[in-house]
Chains A and B, each alone.
Chain A
């Protein structure tokens, strides 16, 4: 740790981090565009300049250097003294803002970035409202630079973050600069568009409305969005994300800073992978069957019916005829509640890990990097919580079998009652499974999308998408990461946690954190939670 003095105040920071980072961490609002902690230093926007005390070249006496220094490029060293709250620094910020706006179109009313735009914010805070330019602005074209991304060239502030991203993080190099001077533009080689599994990040790091996401384009003004902290369910990496939503609709996902796991990034698969939330095949209300008679009772009545039927079944058939298939899409809390209920009802029941979807190979970035050089990995394990469910199963002990064994045994009639949890965003029920469950009298299917098991199930429970749930996922690295709910379940639905909570015998409102504590009290492995640090307000 180094102690440095910013504007007369002592600030402690990690050694050698840029002064800009130290200042922003400590709450200073230092305007910056080109600096991004996940990219190399360009020091080209010249917005973050500061004054610094230096030894005089001749007398060696410490004094304020007449020259301004880029704070993003200057490492913080013990004892150094810098200042931002000076006229010179502020004048430069003002000049820069005037320069940025010279050729900037008056697009804010139609610009997606408006409301979260650092050109707007900085102009307001650091700039001058009057433009002194009477000459015509340069006009640059809008470009369709890839399947997911648009580039509004004339809104660009030339911070080169996006270019450095494709060079240094994705390693795909699609973006480049063309021309020079005031006619600089960001561009791609025609026919080699920006199209890589991580490209969406360039939209996030673009400080202005130049790079925009087609998926979100003109969907919603950003100030109407609410946000929830979440974890991406797309793969076992477990990227920390933000779910931006309004009126119970998810509009977009954005990465949250999560050092060591996803840092500042997320992949496109995760980013755009939330569309199944609005799938027309979603199950929305519970169904209870007795013979040919199907009803959709009140949620409040369900726990009792479930408990009664299961207890009756165990009495009649014995506990070893019971099985529960847990899904790697469940949160730890939900898994734990289900196990609680099953083992309570029948300690001999068999617990099963549901199918773990695997697709292709892991993808590491920058492309071609290995070992230390890897900055991001998309795992081929396409579910968020295999580790968490495995931890639960390990703690639960007792009778367990693999999913394949379960299918085989069920087909052979070993189980007469089973609780099968799905939650997969895609069709997942195999013919074998479908056939095997024919032998099960008391079948509970808890799933997101309608599937063939449901026609014969005694109970069908709608599962919620992760955006509607709360709990925690354990990623491939073993970190237990809590996530919040963003939207409400579809009309008629209910959070899985809530009904499992009640079925497991608890009363009141389900709350992820409370259940986590209960769970951790019994399973110490769940004590240590990983929560990403809160990013400093002025960082972007």
Chain B
């Protein structure tokens, strides 16, 4: 029998590290308090803001968010790990989310995903060595009328064909949306130097589910 494999007594945070959430970001989080009955309800917006600002949500940020919302840090990781959108370890500047649901899959999504993997040289839930792209798959993006779909950060690419992949990847503006942004949430940032540190695995990681079979 293999013995203990994870030691949770080890702190993930350096207690002497300076705060990583800026005062302005904390203020922005607090400014949402009046919208809800509880402070905890601000958790999801806060996580969005932090991920948009830092690229991912490191342990230290979880702790700081917990302090702002007056909850236990375990409640923060509990919530984060439930949702697929949040990253607990660095990701690429741009996250490519390929739809894997039924319309996209039957309309050629698999070939597009394979092409993406080939051109990027990475698998699902991986990041290119230069830190430019991370690749994930997600269930239906509600763009099935334009299947197969890809989301690059905020931008939905529709009716993507295998031969479009190279062009889309090469386009610097492939993540720009045409809408005027609301200042409630910033444009998502990536981690410029994305090195995979030990974070929690993401939830609906199908690759992993498959790997364990």
- CB distance B82 to A180 under 8 Å? yes
Q: B residues within 8 A CB of A190?
A: 8, 10-12, 59
Q: A residues within 8 A CB of B201?
A: 179
A497 at the interface (CB under 8 A from B): no
Residue of A at shortest CB range from B77?
A189
B37 at the interface (CB under 8 A from A): no
Q: Given A136-B213, A138-B212, A173-B72 in contact, is the A178-B78 Cβ separation under 8 Å?
A: yes
Q: A residues within 8 A CB of B77?
A: 176, 178, 187, 189
Residue of A at shortest CB range from B83?
A180
- How many pairs of residues, A versus B, come closer than 8 Å at their CB atoms? 96
Q: B residues within 8 A CB of A172?
A: 72
Q: Given A188-B74, A189-B62 in contact, is the A181-B9 Cβ separation under 8 Å?
A: no
Residue of B at shortest CB range from A137?
B212
Cα–Cα, bound, A193→B6 (Å): 12
Q: Which of A44-52, A143-151, A377-385 has 4 or more CB atoms under 8 Å from chain B?
A: A143-151
Cα–Cα, bound, A172→B71 (Å): 10
B200 at the interface (CB under 8 A from A): yes
B209 at the interface (CB under 8 A from A): yes
Give chain A's interface residue range (CB within 8 Å of chain B).
Answer: 20 to 34
Q: B residues within 8 A CB of A147?
A: 9
Cα–Cα, bound, A192→B10 (Å): 8
Cα–Cα, bound, A143→B6 (Å): 5
For B8-19 the 0/1 string (1 means CB < 8 A from A) is 111111000000
B203 at the interface (CB under 8 A from A): yes
A359 at the interface (CB under 8 A from B): no
Cα–Cα, bound, A139→B13 (Å): 27
A292 at the interface (CB under 8 A from B): no
For A90-127 the 0/1 string (1 means CB < 8 A from B) is 00000000000000000100100000000000000000
Cα–Cα, bound, A189→B3 (Å): 21
Say which residue of B8, B76, B204 sits within 8 Å of A143 (CB atoms): B8
Q: Given A190-B10, A191-B10 in contact, is the A176-B75 Cβ separation under 8 Å?
A: yes
Q: How far is the CB of A349 from chain B (nearest CB, A)?
A: 55
Q: A residues within 8 A CB of B59?
A: 189-190
Q: How far is the CB of B199 from chain A (nearest CB, A)?
A: 10
Q: How far is the CB of A322 from chain B (nearest CB, A)?
A: 55
- Considering only residues 172-225 of chain A, those with a C-beta below 8 Å from chain B are 172-183, 187-193
Say which residue of B10, B11, B75 sits within 8 Å of A173 (CB atoms): B75
Say which residue of A136, A142, A150, A177 sits within 8 Å of B78 (CB atoms): A177
Q: A residues within 8 A CB of B203?
A: 179-181, 183
- CB distance B13 to A191 under 8 Å? yes
Q: How far is the CB of A182 from chain B (nearest CB, A)?
A: 8
- CB distance B212 to A174 under 8 Å? no
Q: How far is the CB of B75 from chain A (nearest CB, A)?
A: 6
Cα–Cα, bound, A428→B12 (Å): 42
A247 at the interface (CB under 8 A from B): no
Residue of B at shortest CB range from A142?
B4
B123 at the interface (CB under 8 A from A): no
Residue of A at shortest CB range from B198?
A190
Q: A residues within 8 A CB of B11?
A: 190-192
Q: How far is the CB of A149 from chain B (nearest CB, A)?
A: 10
- CB distance A174 to B72 under 8 Å? yes
Residue of A at shortest CB range from B201?
A179
Which residues of B approach A to under 8 Å, CB–CB?
A: 1-13, 59, 62-63, 71-78, 81-82, 200-201, 203-204, 208-209, 212-213
The 3 closest A-B pairs by CB, nearest first: A191-B11, A176-B78, A173-B72
Which residues of A approach B to under 8 Å, CB–CB?
A: 107, 110, 135-136, 138-139, 141-147, 150, 172-183, 187-193
5 A-B pairs in the complex with CB atoms less than 8 angstroms apart: A176-B72, A176-B77, A176-B78, A189-B62, A190-B10
